[in-house]
Structure 1
Amino acid sequence: MEDKKTKVLMTTDTVGGVWVYSLELCRALAQYNVQVHLVALGAWPSPAQQVEAEKIPNVTFYKSDYKLEWMENPWEDVERSRKWINCIYQTVQPDIVHLNNYAHVEEEWTAPVVTVFHSCVQTWWQAVKGVNAPHEWDRYAKIVKESLEESTVVVAPTEAILKRAKDMHHFTSESKVIYNGRKISSEAQKPKEEFILCMGRMWDEAKNLPLLSKIAERLPWPVYVAGEDINPGTGVKCKFKNIKFLGKLSSKEVQDWMQRASIFVSPTRYEPFGLAILEAAGNGCALVLSNLDTLQELWHDTALFFNPEDEAEAEKTIIRLMESPNFLEELSIKSRERAKNYSAEKMAAGYNSLYREILEKEKNLMSI
């Protein structure tokens, strides 16, 4: 098993954090002799994304613009993508199928299936709206439940989101937590500057960025948001005062801003893990975060927390940190240390161990 390449058929999408997660994992799996056939859905990859994927030596990259199951009127595309992925499966004959979306488990597949619960519409709706998703999402919910139920193992990036997934979808498959990871550059750090950084799409209700806009004028330091202020769905510019939009940044530009920012704020209402928070911590930002169970699990005693529905509490928490340079430095050091727990290397070790464990079980079953 040590010398033999393990072939993994992995899905990803080009429109969210799953892309960053997938590429980090692929790179880190190379040391375990894992060959990944990476299948992209959601939208055609940008030229930069394509170059990024094709640069990874242990990756064979397949691209499409098939809609994902959470997108508007996706079902025709979902059916086409199922057939397309099944063709790739039949050609590649992978040892493991690793799904980062739902709706693609095929009955005739003999390879074990690992499905990662990154998020879902139902848990998002509960967290953001405080109610269950409306009935138009019933078909989607059925697909998610079936996909999780038909998986050999369901992986989640935190204990807290795994519990919510189980409570919501009532699946009985084996489950496991493997924390997401990032490879943080060990380049010399830049001197910290007096500004606040945040990341996210202004029109995404979950990100809750209007809260920052409302309190920004009362904060002594400027607030920068890495992200665009134009809604791609409507073309309408979001009108928020007191914050400076940086637009869509390359990964190198994001790192530059994070290395210089003193404080990283995330006012999100829903966050199964938070790769941007991890990257900010790895670059020495002091963290001020929404008081969510997922974020408490990862960053307890290394960050300050506030109620994402309470502007006054958010403002008070951020100002407390600005007014105490020693405390700010202490949290910066703590967040950088904690970030080491969530490295790309540890994530890959966890997945490689899971793949091998599953394959060993399959081998033993076949020999009975």
Structure 2
Amino acid sequence: MPVRTVRLRVLMTADAVGGVWPYAVDLADGLSREGVEVTLALLGPPASDAQRAQAEAAGCRLIDTGLPLDWLAETPDAVLAAGEALARLAGLAGADLVHLHSPAFAAAGGFDVPVVAVCHSCVATWWWALEPGPLPPDLAWRRDLVALGCERADALLAPSAAFAAATAGAYGLPRQPTVVRNGRRTPAWPNSPDDAGHYPARYPAPFAFTAGRLWDRAKNVAALDRVAALSIMPVRAAGPTEGPHGERIRLIHLARLGPLDDAGVAAQLRERPVFVSLARYEPFGLAVLEAAQAGCALVLSDIPTFRELWDGAAVFVDPAETTAAAGILDALATDSDRHLDLGDAARAHAARYGMAAATAGVLRAFETVLTGRRLAVSLDGAAA
């Protein structure tokens, strides 16, 4: 077997508790296929055995750093120290470039190689999507670190144009982050069985499904709970109802499934239910993409991100209009042909958000900053 030439060495950060994990693992897999050697530095809680297996399958080296996540850290100094530790780790790994999952970790500086930071989400844009007033002190210092990190990173990426604009506005950036839309590896559906030998449903199941951090106010799951009380269509919800800072939501009418792993979510999606999200804030929404890839009909809140990504392939509803949302679900419950057509449209639309396009976009960003760094060094040498 020929030895693959290493094109580039990248230190990439990730966490194991949210959507950054599938983003990072899928991207690491895509990059490794292009000859990029990826060291995945995990912050926050350690990886599970299943996640370690995913990282190994993606061809990357996984390091549990024990460093805190920026949104879970207790002090600014903890985030700055984590950034400094990542800079040292990049040197030890021989990285040519660092790919951060939050600009906050670039705030301390100290990186000897270019830094590309992805704006997946942040407390400032999250807060202003939900509240009209100023950020509370505990969020304000986190915003300040992100702002400083945005200044010090060599390039910023965002998963949607809507979120790129929101980020630029929140931090007064001179230009918006480059848009590289997220992707997911397309599953082998609809024609292959799962590990248990079960084939995906040919016809959609008459229930609705949602997944994510149910405790997060931005997901607006309380409104979805009210929808479930009004609709004839059962609504299932997967995910935790308690957050790391004591956040908690009480759900009465949703059929709660608890936190599900990837296989558990896939089992729900293979039934091709209606996937519903009434989120008030969503920078991209990987759960929506996974549902669309499975051929689920999409009922989504009418917010800029979802309009940008799914216009023409989803039914949109005002996230505050629970009666209207319930009416949409009721209509789909009694019209299986419409349910099927919407699912087919979503699956076709999802093809544009594959990993090939996402990997290519990230590689272009890498090449741009590396070329700029080489040019800067060359000019500095000429001036000397």
With normalisation by structure 1, the TM-score equals 0.92
Alignment of 1:244 with 2:245, yes or no, is: no
Output the CA distance in 1 between the equivalents of 2:362 and 2:242: 37
**For residue 66 of structure 1, what is the aligned residue in structure 2?**
67
User: How far did 1:239 drift?
Assistant: 3.3
Select the residue among 23, 38, 41 that pairs with 1:39. 41
The unaligned stretches of length 5 or more in structure 1 are: none
Aligned length, in residue pairs: 365
- Structure 1 segments (4+ residues) deviating >6 Å: none
With normalisation by structure 2, the TM-score equals 0.89
**For residue 75 of structure 1, what is the aligned residue in structure 2?**
76
Output the CA distance in 2 between the equivalents of 1:225 and 1:323: 21
**Secondary structure of residue in 2 paired with 1:194:** coil
Kept in 2: contact 1:11–1:100 (CA 8 A): yes
Output the CA distance in 2 between the equivalents of 1:341 and 1:359: 27
Output the CA distance in 2 between the equivalents of 1:78 and 1:107: 12
**For residue 276 of structure 1, what is the aligned residue in structure 2?**
287
**Secondary structure of residue in 1 paired with 2:274:** strand
Kept in 1: contact 2:76–2:145 (CA 8 A): no
User: How far did 1:208 drift?
Assistant: 1.0
Kept in 2: contact 1:149–1:172 (CA 8 A): no
Select the residue among 180, 186, 189 that pairs with 2:182. 180
Distance 1:232 1:85, change over 3 A: closer
**For residue 163 of structure 1, what is the aligned residue in structure 2?**
165
- Percent identity at matched positions? 30
User: How far did 1:72 drift?
Assistant: 5.2
Output the CA distance in 1 between the equivalents of 2:177 and 2:130: 25
Alignment of 1:198 with 2:210, yes or no, is: yes
Kept in 2: contact 1:112–1:152 (CA 8 A): yes
Q: Which has the larger displacement, 254-263 or 131-140?
A: 131-140
Q: Which has the larger displacement, 308-317 or 169-178?
A: 169-178
Alignment of 1:210 with 2:222, yes or no, is: yes
Distance 1:331 1:142, change over 3 A: same
Q: Which has the larger displacement, 209-218 or 18-27?
A: 209-218
Kept in 2: contact 1:40–1:62 (CA 8 A): yes
User: How far did 1:358 drift?
Assistant: 2.4
Output the CA distance in 2 between the equivalents of 1:136 and 1:107: 22
User: How far did 1:80 drift?
Assistant: 3.6
Q: For residues 139-159 of structure 1, what are the alpha-carbon distances to aligned partners after superposition, in whole Å with 9 as ceiling and x for unaligned? A: 212111110111111100000
Q: Counterpart amino acid of 1:204?
A: D
Distance 1:159 1:255, change over 3 A: same
Q: Counterpart amino acid of 2:87?
A: N
Q: Which has the larger displacement, 150-159 or 202-211?
A: 202-211
**Secondary structure of residue in 1 paired with 2:129:** helix
Output the CA distance in 2 between the equivalents of 1:361 and 1:21: 26
Output the CA distance in 2 between the equivalents of 1:185 and 1:193: 19
Output the CA distance in 2 between the equivalents of 1:160 and 1:317: 25
**For residue 337 of structure 1, what is the aligned residue in structure 2?**
348
Q: For residues 271-309 of structure 1, what are the alpha-carbon distances to aligned partners after superposition, in whole Å with 9 as ceiling and x for unaligned? A: 000000000000000000011001100000110111111
Output the CA distance in 1 between the equivalents of 2:243 and 2:169: 33
**For residue 121 of structure 1, what is the aligned residue in structure 2?**
123
Output the CA distance in 1 between the equivalents of 2:48 and 2:254: 27
Kept in 1: contact 2:215–2:247 (CA 8 A): no
The unaligned stretches of length 5 or more in structure 2 are: 192-199, 380-384
